[in-house]
Structure formats: structure tokens, C-alpha cells
Amino acid sequence: MLRLPRSSHPLARAVGTAGAALLLFAPPPARAATPLLASPRTVDFRPMDDGPKPPPPPPKPDLPYQPLKPENFRQPPPANAKHDAETATGVAVEHSPPKTEKQPDGSYTSKYTDLKYSSVVDEGQSYNKRPNDEELLKHEQGHFDLSELEARKRNADKKKALDKLEGTGSTPQEAEADLDKKLDEHTKEVNKGLNEKQEQYDNETDHSKNGAKQKEWNKKIDDGLKSTTPKSTQVKSTSSHSAHYDAATKQLRFTDDVFTGLLDEHGLPLPGDDALLGAEVLLPSFALVGETVAGDPFFLAEGSLTMSAVEGGTQYFALDLPYLLYHDGMFVGVSPTMLGPQVGGSAVLGAMRAAFDAGDAFLLGLRIVPDTDFGALTQGFTASGTSSFTNGFGSVTTAPEPASATLLGAGLTALLTSVGVARRRAAASRSRPESGR
């Protein structure tokens, strides 16, 4: 049994909320260059010495659900390994801060208001002796898929867990400690059931060597994923050079953003197309005006407050974006309004607008995550800097508690509660031993 380390607040990385859609941004496609010569020429050159390559990033202990690649297996194969591959995968549980109340008899009870289940892989505990073997990699993906199916099932039925999980004690601290213990037990229970399914998968496919059984399991898993795939309510994008800060004017600008992909409610990539993809995102410019009470740099929009998405003559949406704050390595802003009737045939925006008009969504949120530490890059916004970033946009569908607005600066997640309190539990199932064909 493998237990993944806890994060202080992994929800700050989450990209959306249940029932929200998040859009991906990227630079517009480059135009074809005009040839400088009428006919081909041969030029001798010597490659530039770029110096030593930077070290690879450390292994991720909680890689979110996605197609596995050879580079996700970061553990060197043990010398005495009996199998060609092992994958450490399981279900992690995230929770809101506990709500603790005093009872009439003087005791205390503590409960969570929300839970989120996510499938994860520990790269540092996973190895693959044959990284170019597509059939073996497909079998390994099946283990990750089974974890994802378990996470989706638990998310769909989380009310039962929320009703069951309750801590009690003679003090608030005792009640919360009891709740903490019960969540650990619940996480182990979730992964114990998952581990039994993983073992069944291995036994019936003989670790991928039984081709007929492997095909049966592939179809069973694929059918399960298709039947439980959530609708896209989020969008994500990336940009190569679009966050600009000028220390002399204290102006913050974002340029060259284009919607490029769809995400599910957990911020994971979804297949498919939407009319919105390819539209350019226009953002206001902002000026640094001070800090929040929590010490987060605060930016107010200059001139027009409108954020919009356009392509050709179509305006897909427009909304007021009056401010941004920089919190935990990202810029975050929210809008209480969605302006303009035009959705341009976009199913994602149509779903957002319907939820907003019906009152199911109370805010529209934007999250901009620079690829570098922008605070360090600009020396606390005292120096100029430019960075690429990942961007997200979607509706927020779970109302926050009154004192929880600061979490809007921590990821616009469904668990809208105080920053730095929510914790993540992950008891991954044992490393999956695989024998290559």
C-alpha cells in the first residue's frame, strides 16, 4: 500500500468547479514567412552552444488523470524487478475545511461541506523497462483508467460520504481530529476496493499477456469512461509570451490569447470541438494599486473593464473584469455579470450562460497561471517581466461561505473555503506489477 504525501492546499491548483467549463488559451498561429530568396541556397553553419541542459523536473507524486507517456515512469527499474512495469495509482481525496458546531449537550461535531475524488499516479514510484512497447503502455493506462472510474463514481455519490463522515469530541479540536481520522479510514477504504479491481484486471489479463482478455478489458474500460465523461464546462489555454508587467508604469497586460481546448469539471482534457475554439481573448490592461489585507498584490482594470472573445465578426461573450489579484503564483479575477446575448453557437458558453441565468452559477472566473514564478521574476512587482502562462475561464457553481471569498484567489474551485486549510488525502493502491508480453 502506497500513501502519497499531503499537499498544503492542492485545490489552489484546481482549474474549475463541478459543472463549470474552462477554456484553454494559446498564441494565435504564426503567419507563414515570406521567402527571402527566389531559389534555395546551401549555408554551412555551426550549431550554437546552448550550455548545459537544465535538470528535469522532479517526479510528480500526484500526477492528475491523463494519457500516460513513457516519461511518466520516473523510477529506475529495480535490479531484482520481476515485471516489466509497475505503476503506482490510486484515488486522492480533497476536502473543504471542517465545519464544527457545538451541540446542546456541550459536545462538538465536525463535518466537511464538500469532497472531491481524483485519480493520481506517483511518477517516482512507477517504472517501465520497455517504454516503447505500446501494448504494455496501454495496459498500464488501464490501471490509471480504473482509478479514474472509481474517482468519478465516488464524486457522483459523494453525498453518502459527506453524510457519514462526522467527527465528535468534547472540544472543537477533538471533533476535528476525529473527523481527520475518519477521513483517513475512508480514503483507505476507497483504495482498498479499487485495489481489488486492479488485481482482477491483472489476473484476468495475465499482466497484458492474454491478448483476448486484454481486449475485453479495454472495451469495458473505454465504455465506462465514455458513459461517465462529464460535459465540458471549462476551457484552458496556453500562451508563449503574453503576460507583461511594466514596473515604471505598474501596468499589467495580457496578449495573444486564443481558446484552444476543452476541459471537464476537474480541469482534465476532453475530446471534441466547440465553436469557441480558435477565438481570440481580449483582456483589459490593469494597474497595480496596492495589496489586499492578506498581502496579495491587487490590480484594477484601466479604461474598459470588458473581457471578450472574438473571431472574425463574431463576439462570443463579453463580461466585466474589474480587478485581478496575485495569489499563490496565479492571477485571479471574477465577474458577477455576463454581458451580451451572443454565444456564437458555442455549446460550452451556452451551458455557462444557462447556468448563470438560472442562478446555478453565481460568478464567472478567470485564472492566469504564469509558467514562471511571476512574483520572483518581477522582484515583488518592483521590476519589469514577461512570462508565458496557462489560462482558464469558467463558471463557478457552488456558493462560497461568507468568509471564503479569498479562495477565489486560490483557484476558483468548488470547495470555496479559506486558503491553506483544505488538505488532500491520497492512499494510492500498491504499485501495479506488469509483465511484458
pLDDT in tens, the chain (437 residues): 333 333 333 322 222 333 333 334 444 444 444 333 333 444 444 444 556 667 778 999 999 899 999 999 999 999 998 889 999 999 999 998 999 999 999 999 999 998 989 999 999 999 999 999 999 999 999 999 999 999 999 988 999 999 999 999 999 999 999 999 999 999 999 999 999 999 999 999 999 999 999 999 999 999 998 888 765 555 655 556 588 999 999 999 988 877 777 776 556 666 677 777 888 888 889 999 998 888 889 999 988 778 777 777 777 777 788 889 998 888 988 876 665 555 567 777 777 777 666 665 556 677 888 888 899 999 999 999 998 877 777 665 443 333 333 333 333 322 222 222 233 444 444 344 444 44
How many CB atoms lie under 10 A from the CB of residue 233? 26
List phi, psi (to 5°) of 139.
-65, -40
List phi, psi (to 5°) of 291.
-130, 155
What is the model's pLDDT at position 326? 93
List phi, psi (to 5°) of 242.
-120, 0
What is the model's pLDDT at position 297? 93
Minimal CA–CA distance to 415: which of 230, 262, 266?
A: 266
What is the model's pLDDT at position 227? 85
What span, in angstroms and rounded, lies between the C-alpha atoms of 349 and 154? 27
Domain map of the chain by residue range?
A: 59-229+423-434, 234-410
3-state secondary structure of 263: strand
Q: Looking at the whole model, is its pTM more than 0.85? A: no
What is the model's pLDDT at position 340? 55
What is the model's pLDDT at position 266? 56
The sign of the CA dihedral 311, 360, 368, 90 is negative
Residues 384 and 246 sit within 8 Å (Cβ to Cβ): yes
What span, in angstroms and rounded, lies between the C-alpha atoms of 206 and 292? 58
Q: Say which DSSP state 106 is in.
A: S
What is the model's pLDDT at position 247? 93
